[in-house]
Structure 1
Amino acid sequence: IPHLLELMGFRSSAYLSHMRTLKTLEQIGAAASCRVGREDILYQFDVLREYVPVVLPLMLANVLCPSVLPEEVATAREHVLEVQQNIGENTESLLCELLHITAYRGNTL
């Protein structure tokens, strides 16, 4: 689920489509990222200070009013499945995941 949430960050919102969001960010030279941890979700923009009034509404719309469109979820899900199939190649990530599963089985953080 965390990986799926990362991929759904900065997709369509109630106010802008995913493509319009991307075009806006591209026009001002901004970079957006979303990172989901076990205890937090971080939405981040790398942008010049003068464009903060432009990107702040974008961020708020994506955090508070996301449009969870079926086609965007399907695309993200396909990507997650590909990553899961390839996780065996990265033994460090696999070991970390297995340790967390073992340590927190049936319990929340």
Structure 2
Amino acid sequence: MAAADFQTGVIPEGFAFDQDGNAIDLTKMVVVLPPPANSGLGWGSVWFSVGADFGDVRLRVATFVNGAWAIEFWDVPRVGNRVTKTLPTNVQKISVGRAKKTGTDLANNAPVSWLLEAALQ
């Protein structure tokens, strides 16, 4: 089995984006800097995961790869496994913030954590 490294943190409370994806409060964002996946610099595959409890949470997850942002919305259930994505080669940064599912969404303070895992070559 290959060795691995990891880092974890929390997504700040409060909505960063409304239900249409428009910014509300960028101080509620976190930017995570992953190691260069499959780059020949000693790192293999890299994974980014999020998990929630006490409420289902929608996150806006953006990855910066090859000079452009790719934006996705992830629904993170309180009951269920964490949501995980294998990061592509050349990803430089990830930004994550809570997004409202609807205009009346109240899950702005349910605990949400992130996990970055990287295989060592």
TM-score (norm. length: structure 2): 0.25
* Rg (Cα) greater in structure: 1
Which structure shows the higher strand fraction?
2
**Which structure exhibits the higher relative contact order, with contacts defined as CA atoms closer than 8 Å and separated by 6 or more residues?**
2
Which structure shows the higher helix fraction?
1
TM-score (norm. length: structure 1): 0.26
